[in-house]
């Protein structure tokens, strides 16, 4: 506890004027709405990196441990990983620029200061003085910076087979963490610039080559991103038509539509959402639902129906040479093609699948000064009628599938237990009782994890799991953990998607009910 307070005091003492101004400016902007923010020059740089999924540097995720910059993760394809000379938990003691620059000691530095010393333009050289985690040996490593693609935040795909009535349905799943685009590369005219729509299009084409019966887009925890990418991505699933309406403060409405007359995928489609699916995710899910193009699974979305633009403040201060930061400002509200805003209300699923954190309050409605819900006139759009008629049967099949499903029953039991824990606000002052309570919670959590692992056929976790969990792990141990990752909600949703495909392939199933 003493060390925690010392770190808090040190962090406060290291605050600079731009940190303080950003804090003050955001206290002012948040009064108008929760999504208007000031970005200091450094925060703005990080925002641009997250949007483009690329940066120029060595390809390492860094953290601060006991005043020392430590390598947390090496990014595949980056110079650090490819050199073979660096590993997780290695410590960076000093940094030098070029082949001859003097080493600059970075022990005790703020993490963001050290990161900016290590980052640099593609093709330039940086030298790192490293204390190896494996044997404490100190070595100098020379790296040439390169463009790093943040693949962990990019769209990725897999195929899961679900057996129904003696037939295996192959469901292609695309996990989409955000709606990203490399604006700089696009503006430079680069032919292969990175974007959500381009990546998803490529993944769909590969999935169809591999053979799928249906497709599910996983938008859980996707907080949004580029509005244009949300529109373009929606256009992959029908020929043309309006996707979203944007109404500015003056009342003028702009319709963003897909008009390329091209459909990349016309097969059975499901979209998986949760409470953290926001903004651009809600545009996509709302349009798919309004068109009847696919079935929406999960829980109601976040409810962020506002549009922001990022303004470089240097344009207003041409005489200032240094960057003065950016302003992310709310300028409009977006509406579904049916005329309803997603603000506060979000997008509701066709089939509700509980989330392990469903009991927690959240969403736009919990934000201070959130703008109110609003509705405008809808836009005429195509109706595919692929969902509505099937919903009663699909809901019945979903309930039958999960009535005695050990995966669903464990999920519901765990959620109820977590809710009970969150409501227990009494904290024992006795250290012995605190330890007993912690051990009881860990034991119960381990039981739930092993129940999930039993369903998947994974090895059971042993009683020393928590001790091992807190220790530094090798790459091989981390890979083994990822191999046994459990995702009960995805499994339940994939089964429901397979039911949906089965019903679409049996057009007389409803008539027999």
Bridge partners of residue 19, in order along the sequence: none
SS3 content of the chain, % helix, strand, coil (to 5): 40, 25, 40
Q: Is 326 helix (H, G, I), strand (E, B) or coil?
A: strand
Bridge partners of residue 74, in order along the sequence: 60
Q: Which entry of 40, 277, 279, 340 is annotated as an active-site residue?
A: 279
Q: Is 159 helix (H, G, I), strand (E, B) or coil?
A: strand
Q: Which entry of 213, 232, 290, 499 is annotated as an active-site residue?
A: 290
Instruction: Spell out the SS3 assignment of 451-502.
Output: HHHHHHCCCCCCCCHHHHHCCCCCHHHHHHHHHCCCCHHHHHHHHHHHHHHH
CB atoms within 10 A of CB 29: 19
Query: 62 — phi, psi (to 5°)?
Result: -115, 155
Mark 437-468 as b/e (b = at least 16 C-beta within 10 Å). beeeeeeebbebbbbbbeeeeeeebeeeeeee
| Closest C-alpha among 296, 297, 368, 305 to residue 340 | 305
| Contact present, 449 and 461 (Cβ < 8 Å) | yes
Residue 479 falls in the annotated catalytic set? no
Query: 19 — phi, psi (to 5°)?
Result: -65, -45
| Contact present, 249 and 341 (Cβ < 8 Å) | no
Residue 72 falls in the annotated catalytic set? no
CB atoms within 10 A of CB 192: 7
Strand duo 253-258 + 241-248: pairing: antiparallel
Residue 279 falls in the annotated catalytic set? yes
153 to 37, 61, 138, 195: CA distances (angstroms): 23, 13, 33, 11
| Contact present, 289 and 350 (Cβ < 8 Å) | yes
Q: Which entry of 304, 345, 397, 499 is annotated as an active-site residue?
A: 304
Q: Which residues are catalytic?
A: 279, 290, 304
């Amino acid at each position: 506890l003493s060390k925690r307070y010392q770190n808090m005091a040190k962090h406060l003492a290291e605050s600079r004027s731009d940190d303080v101004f950003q804090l003050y400016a955001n206290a002012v902007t948040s009064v108008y709405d929760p999504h208007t923010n000031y970005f200091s020059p450094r925060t703005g740089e990080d925002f641009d990196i997250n949007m483009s999924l690329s940066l120029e540097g060595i390809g390492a995720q860094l953290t601060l441990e006991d005043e020392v910059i430590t390598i947390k993760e090496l990014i595949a394809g980056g110079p650090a990983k490819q050199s073979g000379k660096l590993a997780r938990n290695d410590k960076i003691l000093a940094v030098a620029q070029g082949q001859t620059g003097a080493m600059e000691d970075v022990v005790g530095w703020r993490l963001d200061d050290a990161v900016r010393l290590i980052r640099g333009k593609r093709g330039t050289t940086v030298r790192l003085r490293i204390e190896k985690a494996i044997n404490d040996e100190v070595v100098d490593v020379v790296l040439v910076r390169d463009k790093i693609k943040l693949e962990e935040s990019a769209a990725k795909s897999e195929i899961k087979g679900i057996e129904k009535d003696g037939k295996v349905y192959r469901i292609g799943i695309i996990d989409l963490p955000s709606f990203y685009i490399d604006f700089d590369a696009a503006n430079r005219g680069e032919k292969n610039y990175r974007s959500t729509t381009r990546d998803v299009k490529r993944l769909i084409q590969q999935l169809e080559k591999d053979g799928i019966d249906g497709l599910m887009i996983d938008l859980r925890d996707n907080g949004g991103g580029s509005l244009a990418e949300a529109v373009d991505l929606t256009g992959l699933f029908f020929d043309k038509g309006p996707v979203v309406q944007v109404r500015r403060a003056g009342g003028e409405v702009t319709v963003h539509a897909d008009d390329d007359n091209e459909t990349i995928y016309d097969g059975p489609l499901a979209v998986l959402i949760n409470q953290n699916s926001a903004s651009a995710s809600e545009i996509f899910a709302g349009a798919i639902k309004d068109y009847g193009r696919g079935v929406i699974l999960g829980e109601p979305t976040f409810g962020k129906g506002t549009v922001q633009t990022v303004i470089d403040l240097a344009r207003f201060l041409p005489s200032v040479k240094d960057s003065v930061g950016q302003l992310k400002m709310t300028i409009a509200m977006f509406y579904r093609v049916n005329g309803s805003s997603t603000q506060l209300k979000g997008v509701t699923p066709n089939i509700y699948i509980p989330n392990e954190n469903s009991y927690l309050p959240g969403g736009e409605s919990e934000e201070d000064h959130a703008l109110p819900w609003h509705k405008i006139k809808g836009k005429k759009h195509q109706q595919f009628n692929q969902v509505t008629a099937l919903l009663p049967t699909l809901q019945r099949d979903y309930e039958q599938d999960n009535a005695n499903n050990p995966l669903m029953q464990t999920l519901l039991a765990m959620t109820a237990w977590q809710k009970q824990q969150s409501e227990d606000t009494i904290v024992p002052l006795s250290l012995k009782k605190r330890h007993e309570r912690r051990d009881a919670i860990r034991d119960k959590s381990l039981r739930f994890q092993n129940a999930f692992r039993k369903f998947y056929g994974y090895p059971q976790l042993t009683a020393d799991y928590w001790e091992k969990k807190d220790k530094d792990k090798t790459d091989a141990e981390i890979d083994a953990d990822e191999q046994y990752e459990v995702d009960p909600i995805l499994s339940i949703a994939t089964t429901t998607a397979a039911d949906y495909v089965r019903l679409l392939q049996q057009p007389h199933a409803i008539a027999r009910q």
